[in-house]
Amino acid sequence: MKIGQRGLAIGGGVLIAAVALGWFAFERYAIQLPAMMMDWRDPIGPNRAVEWAAGPDAPQAAAENRPPNIVLIVADDLGWNNITLNGGGVAGGSVPTPNIDSIAKAGLVLSHGYSGSGTCAPSRAAMMSGRYPTRFGFEFTPMPPGMARITTRFAAEDETALRNTVLRDAEGEELHFTEMGMPQSEISMGNLLQDAGYRTIHIGKWHLGETNGMAAYDQGFDESLLMASGLYLNLDDPASVEARNDFDPIDRFLWANMRFAVRKNGGPRFEPDRYLTDYFTNEAVKAIEANKSRPFFLYLAHWAPHTPLQATQEDYDALSHIEDHTLRVYGAMIRALDRGVGEVLDALKRNGLEENTLVIFTSDNGGAHYIGLPEINQPYRGWKATFFGGGIRVPFFLKWPAKIEAGLEYSHPVHHFDLYATAAAVAGVPVPDDRIVDGRNLLTVLEDAESPLHETLFWRSGHYQTVLHRGWKLQRTERPDAVWLFDLDSDPTELNNLAAGRPEKVAELAALLDAHNAEQKAPGWPSRVEMPVSIDKSLRERQAEDDEYIYWPN
């Protein structure tokens, strides 16, 4: 071989090697690109103290003449069986939740409480608007940039999966994550209470948009301390204990792209000074103390126990009896959440606010199948992203010592959007009369616990749709082509599908769904992905060909 030819061959080999190395590096690090771009555009600064605007030094009116304070505490993906109120709880009830339970025991238990959707963001839109989120196009949960594409690729790599996630091309211009949200034309719960003279405070998750007037501080909240990413501690923090689920494409994306960060009223990102759940709790206590002399609305939207599963070493060590590592980390997260609820309740009591404060506790939806823990929604079937009980039956409690007797229970269906009308009634203001408000005042059940507030409720995520009407529940989906009909009065855990034997009931409920759909707005952004969710098995369990499942459109 001549020298020139040898040089070309070597150069070509180097080029091929460089391309191969570049492709390897891209494949390895591409999953991290969304966060890397975010870090470049919006770097995370060191912790800084949050100063909450203080109210007057002394109350302007006697306690009995002041409007009651309202504290709304929302957990994220809290399964029905995560609390110990009814003899359940994590790891056979060995992770007690006395503080969450105390809200229920001291007030009103809404035992048939339903979330606004099977996933987080539409549920929060229902709470904040008092309406079906599909009335204003909020049908799908906004996803961070790259999440649909990357998680779909990971799902396709899973050789054990019987069904893979499907990625669809979005029609029209694709909106950015921050542009997907609740339009400012909605009158949020923050708007409603702010106009009624309340100091309005948001702490934690928002997930209803961050631009075009959709951020919390543009939607009626005087102050907003936003969860600006999703880690509970930095990855190199020695106080952090992780449980990573490599079988879950969503988990792999979150660990690669989440950061430990918050922001105040649209300002730059900065690090919290402690474990995220404890941080939000501490800031909520500070906000209560700053506003103890004036009516306030505190929306405390915890991230716990949503993935990534990350606990403090201290909480993890306290649960040494739990052998399964993932379950132990999860239980430690529940422990921190319950501790935080207790500290908020203590702050109200310490500042003389307990008697005249309405405290509401709920979860945005049920527990997720992708954490791989099979018992979190028992006794209900299904998970987050489904409209089976495990996805939409949620803890739902109200405590207000001045007005609600301890130990009450209401056993008819209620919905997240009822919180809006309830807040309006508590504040003494009417709900807006220029639009349909679907929610009802929950306090009316104190006078009539026998009558249902709602005869009919609906849920929709693309082709997956559900109606609950007078105890009968119909679910239908195009992928797979399936219909489920349940008589919840006799079959509350949805074990016996009656669709084949009751075609007339299927037709009746399908007609209600069709009429409801005709009133809803087209989605504000298209569904990008459809994820298969087994109804009866967690993602860690081997799926069989005859398992029942739905494809969750989002």
3-state secondary structure 204-223: ECCCCCCCCCCCHHHCCCCE
391 exposed, middle or buried (CB, 10 Å; 0-12, 13-18, 19+)? buried
Let me know: does 431 contact 130? Beta carbons within 8 Å: yes
In this prediction, residues 167-190 reach a mean pLDDT of: 83
Look over the chain and give the mean of its residue pLDDT values, rounded to a whole number: 92
% the chain with pLDDT above 90: 80
Please check the confidence at residue 40 and state whether its pLDDT lies above 90.
no
At residue 230 the predicted structure's pLDDT band, cuts being 50, 70 and 90, is very high
Name which residue leads in pLDDT, 345 or 170. 345
Contacts for 108 with CB less than 8 Å, ≥ 6 apart: 397, 398, 399, 404, 408, 409, 410, 442, 445, 446
3-state helix, strand, coil in the chain (%, to 5): 35, 20, 50
**Residue 39 pLDDT:** 80
- The better pLDDT of the pair 338, 62 is held by 338
- Mean pLDDT is lowest, of 170-184, 274-288, 501-515, for 170-184
pLDDT of residue 25: 43
Residue 94 has pLDDT above 70, yes or no: yes
Q: Taking residues 385-396, what's their average pLDDT?
A: 98
Q: Does 467 score more than 50 pLDDT?
A: yes
The answer to the question of residue 368 being in a domain is yes
Residue 362 has pLDDT above 70, yes or no: yes
Q: What local confidence, expressed as pLDDT, does residue 17 receive?
A: 47
Is pLDDT above 80 for 31? no
What is the per-residue pLDDT for 21?
44
Task: Determine the structural domain holding residue 349 and report its residue range.
Answer: 32-41+65-454
Q: Is the pLDDT of residue 435 over 50?
A: yes
For residue 372, being part of any structural domain is answered with yes
User: Minimal CA–CA distance to 459: which of 509, 534, 525?
Assistant: 509
For residues 99 and 337, the answer to whether their CB atoms sit within 8 Å is no
pLDDT for res 20: 42
> Has residue 268 got a pLDDT over 70?
yes
Predicted pLDDT of residue 545 = 80
Q: What is the pLDDT of residues 101-123, one digit of tens each?
A: 999 999 999 999 999 999 999 99
pLDDT at 348: 98
| Residue with more model confidence, 163 or 83 | 83
Find all residues with CB under 8 Å of 156, minimum gap 6, and list them. 164, 165
Average pLDDT over residues 7-26: 48
Residues 518 and 511: beta-carbon distance below 8 Å: no
Residue 232: per-residue pLDDT: 98
Calpha distance 479→84 (Å, rounded): 36
517-530: pLDDT as tens digits: 999 999 999 998 89
Look at residues 413, 476, 423 and name the one whose alpha carbon lies nearest to residue 445.
Answer: 413
Q: Which of the 8 DSSP states describes residue 383?
A: -
pLDDT at 104: 98
Give the pLDDT score at 26: 43
Say which range, 19-33, 193-207, 212-226, has the weakest mean pLDDT: 19-33
Question: Is the model more confident about 303 or about 154?
Answer: 303
Q: Tell me: pLDDT of 11 over 90.
A: no
pLDDT above 70 as % of the chain: 91
Q: Which of 232, 229, 213, 209 is nearest to 281 (CA)?
A: 232
Residue 366 lies inside a defined structural domain of this protein? yes
Higher-confidence residue of 32 and 552: namely 552
Tell me if 1 is assigned to some domain: no
Query: Would you say 371 and 75 are in contact if contact means Cβ atoms under 8 Å apart?
Result: no
Confidence of residue 64 (pLDDT cuts 50, 70, 90): low
In the predicted structure, residue 3 carries a pLDDT above the cut 70: no
126 close to 143: Cβ distance less than 8 angstroms: no
Report how far residue 412's alpha carbon sits from residue 108's, in angstroms, rounded to the nearest whole number.
13
User: Which residue from 304, 303, 306, 336 is spatially nearest to 319, judged by alpha carbons?
Assistant: 336
Question: Does residue 424 lie in a domain region?
Answer: yes
Minimum mean pLDDT range among 108-117, 153-162, 418-427, 504-513: 153-162
pLDDT of 85 = 96
Residue 415 lies in a domain: yes
Is residue 216 within 8 A of residue 202, CB to CB? The reply is: yes
Backbone angles phi, psi at 497, to 5 degrees: -75, 115
Q: Higher confidence at residue 361 or residue 168? A: 361
**Who has greater pLDDT, 186 or 530?**
186
Confidence (pLDDT) at 59:
79
What end-to-end distance do the CA atoms of the chain give, in Å? 59
Q: What is the DSSP letter of 360?
A: E
pLDDT the model gives residue 172 = 53
CATH number at residue 274: 3.40.720.10
> Contact 341/361 with Cβ under 8 angstroms?
yes
Beta bridge partners of 415: 114
pLDDT of 19 above 60: no
* Section 7-34 average pLDDT: 53
Question: How many structural domains comprise the chain?
Answer: 1
Find the range with the poorest average confidence among 149-163, 371-385, 403-417, 468-482: 149-163
Average pLDDT over residues 382-395: 98
| Res. 129 pLDDT band, cuts 50 70 90 | very high
Q: What is the pTM of this model?
A: 0.94
Residue 23 has pLDDT above 60, yes or no: no
C-alpha separations of 192 from 128, 168, 420 in Å: 10, 38, 9
Q: Is residue 158 part of a domain?
A: yes
CA Rg value for the chain: 24
31-59 mean pLDDT: 87
The answer to the question of residue 525 being in a domain is no
- Give the largest CA-CA distance in the chain: 99
Rounded Cα–Cα distance for residues 539 and 304 (Å): 20
Q: Does pLDDT of 171 surpass 70?
A: no
d(CA 313, CA 320): 11
